[in-house]
Structure 1
Amino acid sequence: MTRCLVIGGNGFVGSYVVDELVATGHEVTVFDRFSGGERRYDATPAREISGDFLNVGQVEQAVAGQDVIFHLLSTTNPASAEADPLLDVRTNVTSSIELFRLAAAARIEHLYFVSTGGAIYGEQAQDVVDENAMPLPISPYAIGKLSIERYLAYFRRVQGLRSTVLRLSNPYGPRQSPTRKQGVIPIFLRQIALGEPVTVFGDGSMERDYIYVADAARMLVAPLGRQSPHDLYNVGSGRSFSINEIIDSIRRITGIDPAVRFMPAPPTFVQHIALSTERFRAAFGETTDLTDLDEGVRRTWQTMVEAR
């Protein structure tokens, strides 16, 4: 049994990682702020630590006695990082460096950092992007994630902190907040539930690699305790869907044909991204049982309907 600390374990993706770790027999400690007191995960972890990622002493206490760390906490989202890039640097980047320092000092066996695959590559010539592509981030959020990746590589080389970067595409599903400026599927579903028009930035042709969150969690946990030849992996579905295709899926699932309001796309939006997962599949096995888009939208919509 591996003692796993999940930084940001009460967040959207983090809560599913907690569930997956518990289901696969590991001892889990969740570190998060637990805003509002709500527990998002279903599993019962060994420990819950209510703490602030910006408080080095609290993070140090959480790290003590752990074998492995999953770092999923982000103090910003793409919109808030763009509104205040310095906030992203002062909180996400510097606090992650502190975490890596503490992990190295505590001789943590392995640290897994969940980065972004949806934004870090920027605009690429190829349709499906693999890990050999040079990152070309054009948003502060993605620039910050790449900075954290580079600092993690520094700690790996200089202080021997074993680590893996997992570049996650665009996860969606139940537990994702529909009121934040991140995650078009729950945002669209909420707008439809309220009888509002769906707001699309651009002409609807923008494409992203969407992956159902429970599938993403299984992939994020898969490298735990296994030897692998690389320290960087893409995690995604391996294909892209346009915003127009997302709306078509929502029409099929909800039976509602929403009005669509088109707005200019921000200059930091990437037009197309799909992640190659060949490296991941070669190291950890096939991922052919992924939830298809309509089924994932159906589960997300059903959760919203039940919560109303």
Structure 2
Amino acid sequence: MIGVFGGSGFIGRNLVDRLNETQRSFQVFSRRNVAGLRAETKIIDFEKPESYREYLEGLETVILLVSASVPGTFANDIASEVEKNVLPYSRFLRAARSTGIRHIVYVSSGGAVYGQPIEPIITEQHPVNPISPYGCAKLMIEEMIRTMSTDGGWTYTILRASNPIGRYQSSEKGQGLVARALDAAISNTVLDIWGDGTSLRDYIDVRDLCEVIDRSITSEVMKKDVYNVGSGKVYSVNDIVEICSSVSGIQIKTRYIEQKSFLVKDVKLSIDKVMGDLDWRPKFDARSSIEAEFAHTFALIPGYRAGRASTI
């Protein structure tokens, strides 16, 4: 049995769709129920092992998607990152020892853990030197999973994902540029862009990411290893905003503000390793991902018609 912790979030909801498609036997563990989620859900508090310890014995694989923050949540507050993310994971891993769990899949960050690149293309051998509390916490969790694997009796797959985009993403939770840009289009508000908009990022369709997660469950090659997962392409922030304008039919108004110190400027991930070990290729480009996100999030808004505000 597979346990998906954080299954009601953005990546989790897409992963549930994927696991249903591939007919996996799984169960979702979440802080809340989500309408329309096609999975049995156990309501737990990830910070409190007593709320889920009894379920761990029946699991063989766990997929860990839980996060209490996005990069800017605790921008200057490492203590809060440790309290809200690192410590709950340490409690989970302690509870997971001496259970039936044999494999852990953890979705980490493909940009924040590396820090400022010293090579034009970032492979998994690139030094890890996070410059933000968010990246530091992700790396600490990676190291806990690896360090405790011998004592815990599990193998692990750590996926350093680029910026996932696609259906179910929400601007209300600060889930990335695309969600905020589409929200600005629909609400006719100004989108704040940190810096000059030339920073380069890899944006992966969440469906592609979920395929890698799904396939890593049974891959013997991927056990006890770390992988970058991305689209293999980079776009500037300005490029993404223009695509969002095109998809929504609304010219998004922007305002450039001071670049945040915790953000890595350019991130170009090498995905050669995961493509080789999984015989996998990304299926979706940025535009098709943004179209999927727009369709699922905004197309059913009462009274909305694409292009109605294109002259604003």
TM-score tier by shorter-chain length is over 0.9
Partners of 1:145 and 1:293 lie apart in 2 by: 25
One-letter identity of the residue aligned with 1:227: E
Partners of 2:69 and 2:179 lie apart in 1 by: 18
In the superposition, relative to structure 1, how do residues 168 and 39 fare at CA in structure 2: closer, same or farther (>3 Å)?
farther
- Are the equivalent residues in 2 in contact too, given 1:107–1:161 (CA < 8 A)? no
The runs of 5 or more residues in structure 2 that have no matched partner are: 303-312
- Are the equivalent residues in 1 in contact too, given 2:56–2:100 (CA < 8 A)? no
- Are the equivalent residues in 2 in contact too, given 1:281–1:287 (CA < 8 A)? yes
2:186 is the alignment partner of 1:161: no
The runs of 5 or more residues in structure 1 that have no matched partner are: none
Q: 1:234 aligns with which of 228, 233, 247?
A: 228
Q: 1:122 aligns with which of 115, 121, 125?
A: 115
- Are the equivalent residues in 1 in contact too, given 2:59–2:100 (CA < 8 A)? no
SS, match of residue 118 in structure 1 = coil
Offset at residue 244 of structure 1 (A): 0.8
Q: 1:273 aligns with which of 267, 271, 281?
A: 267
Offset at residue 146 of structure 1 (A): 0.2
Percentage identity across paired residues of the two chains = 28
In the superposition, relative to structure 1, how do residues 139 and 164 fare at CA in structure 2: closer, same or farther (>3 Å)?
same
Partners of 1:292 and 1:208 lie apart in 2 by: 13
Q: How does 1:14-33 map to 2 (within 5 A)?
A: 14-33=12-31
One-letter identity of the residue aligned with 2:254: V
2:124 is the alignment partner of 1:131: yes
Determine the structure 2 residue equivalent to 1:10.
8
One-letter identity of the residue aligned with 2:34: E
Determine the structure 2 residue equivalent to 1:38.
34
TM-score, with length taken from structure 1: 0.92
One-letter identity of the residue aligned with 1:232: V
In the superposition, relative to structure 1, how do residues 184 and 150 fare at CA in structure 2: closer, same or farther (>3 Å)?
same
Partners of 1:286 and 1:49 lie apart in 2 by: 32
SS, match of residue 306 in structure 1 = coil
Aligned residues: 300
Q: How does 1:75-94 map to 2 (within 5 A)?
A: 75-94=68-87
Determine the structure 1 residue equivalent to 2:145.
152
TM-score, with length taken from structure 2: 0.91
CA RMSD of aligned residues (A): 1.6
Partners of 2:55 and 2:42 lie apart in 1 by: 7
Q: How does 1:147-296 map to 2 (within 5 A)?
A: 147-228=140-221, 231-288=225-282, 290-296=283-289
Offset at residue 83 of structure 1 (A): 5.0
SS, match of residue 228 in structure 1 = coil
Offset at residue 225 of structure 1 (A): 1.4
2:51 is the alignment partner of 1:58: yes
Deviates more, 1:225-234 or 1:239-248: 225-234
Partners of 2:237 and 2:204 lie apart in 1 by: 14
2:65 is the alignment partner of 1:67: no
